[in-house]
Structure 1
Amino acid sequence: MTTLGTASAEPGEIDTGRLEVGETRDGSPFGLPVAVINGAKPGKTLYLQAASDGDELNGVGVIKRVVPRLDPAELSGTILIVGIVNYHAFQVAEHRNPIDDTKMNRAYPGSENGTSSERIAATTFEAATRADLILDLHQGSTSRMIDEVRVRCGKRHRLYEDCLELAKAFDCGYVLDQKGPDGQLARAAPDEGIPTVDPELGGCIGWDETSVRKGVEGVFNVLTHYGFLEGTVDLNRQTRANGFEQYGAPNGGLVTMKRDLGEQVAHDEELFEVTTPFGESKATVTADSDGILWRTRRLPQVATGEYVCSVGTDVDSF
């Protein structure tokens, strides 16, 4: 019997339930939606979670499609799933937990006696660290971004190569290989000996069909590569950015991008132009380094200094 919250499954079974993590403002208990898929045969354990940022819904779309396709009779090992991590933010379609104004993916490993976000992080971290592998499904918030996987443990970490292999198995085609901020699950879990990556599945409002489909393929790639499902997966070469440069608007106005997402850009090549509402040019911004246009804002209007785009730099492949 494998249990997560109120979900319990014997070998060859699947069950869903709730993982209680606290109470709402009216004193009612609330729980995160969870699932246990317990394979008929023994094997590894995969932990999968989504929506630790409440407006990043592509991961929820992935889980919604993955679970109905899984047959425990054909599975070796166990999959533990938390379908929505940031409960309070998800309810109001916001990025941060509105109870404590915290970005959930800066709260790991959490504290069982801490703030709302720290308590949720501690509960989900306890579940995650029961696993052999962790996929923390994200997206580039509501901005526009390529589909990529982030390796956040840092190149000197003892599990660095294992995290790279997991990213390669997921196979988005692009990897951001850059040590992440403290408090990220993909930083904290490798310290516990568990390879972990952040698949960043595009960026949109709601969910994007192409990115959700890419995420579903990625999860099944991982399940096959690590022996949960029968078969083989080719480990394709990934385009890797080892750095990240962000660009803001030097003036207020309307932004016109000069390059598309995923396109290579060269040093001093034009990235975007800022104009007045009448099309009069106010500024052009060029790339500081060679790289790949990785992410852009969604709306054209900007104030001085407001974020416009990001370029992945120090690009290679592996």
Structure 2
Amino acid sequence: MTTLGTASAAPGEMDTGRLPVGETRDGSQFGLPVAVINGADDGKTLYIQAVSDGDELNGLGVVNRVVPQLDPEELSGTILITGLVNYHGFQVAEHRNPIDDTKMNRTYPGNESGTSSERIAAATFEAAMRADLVLDLHQGSTSRMINEARVRCGPRHRLHDECLELAKVFDCGYVLDQKGPDGQLARAAPDEGVPTIDPELGGCVGWDEESIQYGVDGVFNVLRYYGFLDEDVTVNTQTRATGFDRYGAPSGGLVTFQKDLGDDVSPGETLFTITDVFGRLKAEVTADRNGIFWRSRRLPQVATGEYVCSVGIDVSRY
């Protein structure tokens, strides 16, 4: 019998329930929605979580599509899932946890006696530490960005190669291989010996079917490659970047991009122009070096110095 919170499943069974993490402001107990899918045969354990940031819904879309397709009788090993992590942020469609104004993915490994976010992080981190592999599903919030998988442990970490392999198997096509900020699950879990990646499933406001499908395909790639499902998988070459050049607006106005997401960029090529409200050119911004047009703002209006776009640099194929 395998349990996660109130969910409990024998081999060949599945169950859903709640992972208790505290009380709301009226004193009511609340818990995160969780699922246990216990395969009929022995195997590895995979932990998946989504909605660490309360307005990033594509990961929830992945969970919503993947779980109904899984038959525990056809599965080897166990899948543990937390369907949404940032309970309070999700309720009000906010990025941060509004109870303590905290970005959840900066609080791992958490503290079971700490703030609201730290307690949630501690509970979900404990679940993640039961796994052999972890997928922490994110998206670019309101930015436009390519679908990518992020390896956040840093190139000198002892599990770097295993995390990089997991990102390759997930197969978004693009990988950011850059050490992440303290408190990210994809940094904390490898420190405890569990390979973890942070797929950023596009950037949108709300729910994007194309990016959700990237995530669904990625989860099934992982299940096949690591033996959860007795099916073949093709591991494709990925495009990897190890950092970003970020570009801001030299003047205020309206941005027009000359590059699209995923385009190759060469030094001196125009990335974007800025015009005034009457269409008169105010500025033209060019690339500093080779890379890939990776991320950009969604709305055209900018103030002086405001973020406009990012170019992935030190690009290679692996």
TM-score range, shorter chain: over 0.9
Aligned residue number for residue 251 of structure 1: 251
- Superposed, 1:58-73 pairs within 5 Å as 58-73=58-73
What displacement does 1:191 show?
0.6
**Would the aligned equivalents of 1:53 and 1:103 in 2 still touch at CA under 8 Å?**
yes
Quick one: distance in 2 between partners of 1:14 and 1:267?
A: 53
Percent of aligned pairs sharing the same letter: 77
Matched, 1:101 2:101: yes
Q: TM-score, normalised by structure 1?
A: 0.99
Aligned residue number for residue 169 of structure 2: 169
Aligned residue number for residue 51 of structure 1: 51
Quick one: distance in 1 between partners of 2:67 and 2:292?
A: 34
Structure 2 residue matching 1:140: 3-state secondary structure: coil
Matched, 1:272 2:272: yes
Structure 1 residue matching 2:242: 3-state secondary structure: strand
**Would the aligned equivalents of 1:256 and 1:300 in 2 still touch at CA under 8 Å?**
yes
Aligned residue number for residue 293 of structure 1: 293
Aligned residue number for residue 137 of structure 2: 137
**Structure 1 residue runs of 4 or more that deviate by more than 3 Å after TM superposition:** none
Quick one: distance in 1 between partners of 2:219 and 2:66?
A: 8
- Superposed, 1:78-227 pairs within 5 Å as 78-227=78-227
Aligned residue number for residue 3 of structure 2: 3
Quick one: distance in 1 between partners of 2:293 and 2:257?
A: 10
What displacement does 1:162 show?
0.4
Q: What's the CA shift string for 1:219-269, capped at 9, x where partnerless? A: 000000000000221211100001112111111111111100000111121
Q: What's the CA shift string for 1:261-310, capped at 9, x where partnerless? A: 00011112111111111101111111122100101111111111111111
Q: What's the CA shift string for 1:26-79, capped at 9, x where partnerless? A: 111111110000000011000000000111110000000000000000000000
Quick one: distance in 1 between partners of 2:106 and 2:219?
A: 24
Quick one: distance in 2 between partners of 1:166 and 1:109?
A: 21
Quick one: distance in 2 between partners of 1:288 and 1:116?
A: 43
Structure 1 residue matching 2:205: 3-state secondary structure: coil
Quick one: distance in 2 between partners of 1:75 and 1:302?
A: 50
Structure 2 residue matching 1:188: 3-state secondary structure: helix
**Please, which runs of 5 or more residues in structure 1 have no aligned partner?**
none
Quick one: distance in 1 between partners of 2:181 and 2:145?
A: 20
Aligned residue number for residue 304 of structure 1: 304
Number of matched pairs: 318
Quick one: distance in 2 between partners of 1:2 and 1:180?
A: 32
Quick one: distance in 2 between partners of 1:101 and 1:258?
A: 37
Quick one: distance in 2 between partners of 1:225 and 1:95?
A: 33
Letter in 2 for 1:122: A
Quick one: distance in 2 between partners of 1:278 and 1:248?
A: 21
